[in-house]
Structure 1
Amino acid sequence: MKILVTGATGYAGRRVSTALARAGHTVLGLTRDTATEAARDLTVDEVTPVQGDLSRPESWRDHLDGTDAVVHLLMDMSDPVGTDRRLFTELVEAQERDGRRRHLVFTTGISAYGRTGPALMDENTRGNPESPIGFRFALEKELAATGLSHTVVRPGFMYGGPATTSMTGQWFAGAEAGEPVFYGDTTKRWSWIHVDDLADAYVRVLDNPAAVDGEVFVVADDQRLSALDMQRVAVSAAGWTGGIAEESAEAGGMLQMAADQDELVTSAKAHRLLGWRPRHASFTDAPERHYRAWKAARRAT
């Protein structure tokens, strides 16, 4: 298949793009600037960087020519709803132009659920519309209404590799700066996923996209530690031996507010329909290794 990946130079984007290329697909990685080091790294991984700004469809529309699928891994923080809607519109119009039924793999995330009540959430759990990023579930419904061939992936909290947008990376950085902070409810627990296990889920979806057309998959491991306990492990791996300050979720910004509750999920559906299972049991199995990977990635930038 020929696949266009949005956000290809991002944290998840590079790992997903690389995994798809290794699976034998022809992968185009959308990036604002093909001359950056991150874009050149895509070439090393046998992904072709192509220039475009997702918020400006005219800059990337031509990259849809001949594609069989699009993997969407970018949230445009300046206009998350509008940019995604424009993506849906462009795919509908491309299908009308050339008759190709492209499969869109649309990424949201478990923080979009917000406060729901169930101890363990799955694909059928209704999201709380008051969640700061609950609009992502509304976008899932809008996508389904377009008639586009699609699959939705809702990842848990990511870790591993460069951890550039991972909470673990923030924790490592806080430890190194001598000021680790925990935001919000100290008892909350989150489900996690190693970024390479997440990439494997996308490969499995696109192995046979027709078989999972219209499906939603939650993908995360089975660990159940509190977020504060996870942070303690992370800062210890980074050499911090002091305490962790506590502040409100509001002090941490929108994403901390969106995640200020239990977010535990089951991936039983992905196990059953995709044959997917995480190969990395937990961040806490090798925190020093994850810290070294994060540290090495920072030196390289």
Structure 2
Amino acid sequence: MRILVIGATGYIGHRVSAALARAGHTVLGLTRDTTSSAARDLLVNEVEPVKGDFADPDSWRGYLDGTDAVIHFLMDMDDPISTDRRLFAELAASQERLGRRHHLVYTTGVSCYGRTGLALMDENTPGNPESPLGFRFLLEKELAAGTLAHTVVRPGFVYGGPATTSLSGQWFAAAEVGEAVFYGDTSKHYSWVHVDDLAEAYVRILDNPAAVDGGVFVIADDQPLKLLDVQRLALRAAGYVGEITFEPAEAGGLMQVAADQDELVSSVKAHRLLGWRPRHVSFTDNPVQHYRAWKASRTSA
């Protein structure tokens, strides 16, 4: 397949692009700067960097010709609803123009659920519309009501590798400057997934996209980890021996507010329909290894 990845130079997008290339696909990685170190890393992984700005469809519309699938990882923090709707519209227009369908793999996340009051959530759990990220479930529904071939992926909290935008990476960075902060409810639990296990889920979806057209998949390792315990392990792995400062979620910004509750999910559907199971049991198995990977990525950058 020929696949366009929007957000290919990002933390998750890079690993997914590389995994798809290893699986034998032709992968185009959209990037604003094809000369950047991140773009060069794509080339090393046999992914072709192509110049374009997601906010400007004129810059990437031409790549849709001959493309079998599009994977979308970006979230425009300035106007996330309009930019994603623009993507849907461009794909629909391309479908009409070319007379062929592109399979969209649309990435949201478990924090979109918000406060549901449920101990365990899955693909059928309705999100709380009052969640700061609840609009992403609205966009999922718009996809389901339209004509685009698509699959939705809702990852758990991602760790592993460079951990660029991972909470674990934030904790490692905080440990090195000696300013560890925990935001929000200290009793909350999260589901996690290693970035390479997550990448494997995308590979399996695009092995036979027609079989999962219209499907939604939660992808996580199903370990019910207390967030504060995970943070302490991460800080210790990075050599931090100080105290943790506790702040309200609001002090950490929108994403901390959106995730200030239990976010435990079941991936039984992915096990059953995709044959997917995580190879990495848990972040807690080897936090020192994850710290070293994060540290090495910063050194090489």
What TM bracket, shorter-length normalisation? over 0.9
1:224 matched residue in structure 2: 224
1:277 matched residue in structure 2: 277
Q: Which residues in structure 2 correspond to 1:83-98 (within 5 Å)?
A: 83-98=83-98
Alignment-mate amino acid for residue 144 of structure 1: A
Deviations 1:99-157 (A, max 9, x none): 11110000000000000011000000010011111111001011112210000000000
Alignment-mate amino acid for residue 114 of structure 1: G
* 2:300 is equivalent to residue 300 of structure 1: yes
Say if 1:197 and 1:279, in contact at 8 Å, map to a contact too: yes
Q: 1:217 is paired with a residue of what secondary structure?
A: strand
* 2:36 is equivalent to residue 36 of structure 1: yes
Alignment-mate amino acid for residue 214 of structure 1: G
1:155 matched residue in structure 2: 155
Deviation for aligned residue 1:67: 0.4
Say if 1:92 and 1:146, in contact at 8 Å, map to a contact too: no
Deviations 1:211-249 (A, max 9, x none): 000000000002112100000000000001122110000
Alignment-mate amino acid for residue 267 of structure 2: S
Stretches of structure 2 lacking an aligned partner (at least 5 in a row): none
Q: Which residues in structure 2 correspond to 1:46-195 (within 5 Å)?
A: 46-195=46-195
Say if 1:151 and 1:216, in contact at 8 Å, map to a contact too: yes
Say if 1:171 and 1:231, in contact at 8 Å, map to a contact too: yes
2:201 matched residue in structure 1: 201
Deviations 1:39-81 (A, max 9, x none): 0110110000001111110010001110000011111112111
Stretches of structure 1 lacking an aligned partner (at least 5 in a row): none
Q: 1:82 is paired with a residue of what secondary structure?
A: helix
Root mean square deviation, CA, Å: 0.6
Q: 2:225 is paired with a residue of what secondary structure?
A: coil
Distance (Å, rounded) in 2 between the aligned partners of 1:23 and 1:162: 22
2:266 matched residue in structure 1: 266
Alignment-mate amino acid for residue 50 of structure 1: V
Distance (Å, rounded) in 1 between the aligned partners of 2:218 and 2:166: 18
Distance (Å, rounded) in 2 between the aligned partners of 1:185 and 1:36: 39
TM-score by length of 2: 0.99
2:242 matched residue in structure 1: 242
2:254 matched residue in structure 1: 254
Q: Percent identity?
A: 74
Distance (Å, rounded) in 2 between the aligned partners of 1:188 and 1:57: 40
Alignment-mate amino acid for residue 31 of structure 1: T
Q: 1:168 is paired with a residue of what secondary structure?
A: helix
Q: 2:131 is paired with a residue of what secondary structure?
A: coil
Distance (Å, rounded) in 2 between the aligned partners of 1:48 and 1:171: 32
Q: 1:264 is paired with a residue of what secondary structure?
A: coil
Distance (Å, rounded) in 1 between the aligned partners of 2:151 and 2:46: 25
Alignment-mate amino acid for residue 190 of structure 1: Y
Q: 2:203 is paired with a residue of what secondary structure?
A: helix
70-79 or 181-190: bigger deviation: 70-79
Segments ≥4 residues shifted beyond 3 Å: none
Alignment-mate amino acid for residue 156 of structure 1: G
Q: 1:41 is paired with a residue of what secondary structure?
A: helix
Distance (Å, rounded) in 2 between the aligned partners of 1:146 and 1:56: 23
Alignment-mate amino acid for residue 125 of structure 1: T
Distance (Å, rounded) in 2 between the aligned partners of 1:167 and 1:79: 23
Distance (Å, rounded) in 2 between the aligned partners of 1:216 and 1:132: 21
Alignment-mate amino acid for residue 52 of structure 1: G
Alignment-mate amino acid for residue 257 of structure 1: V
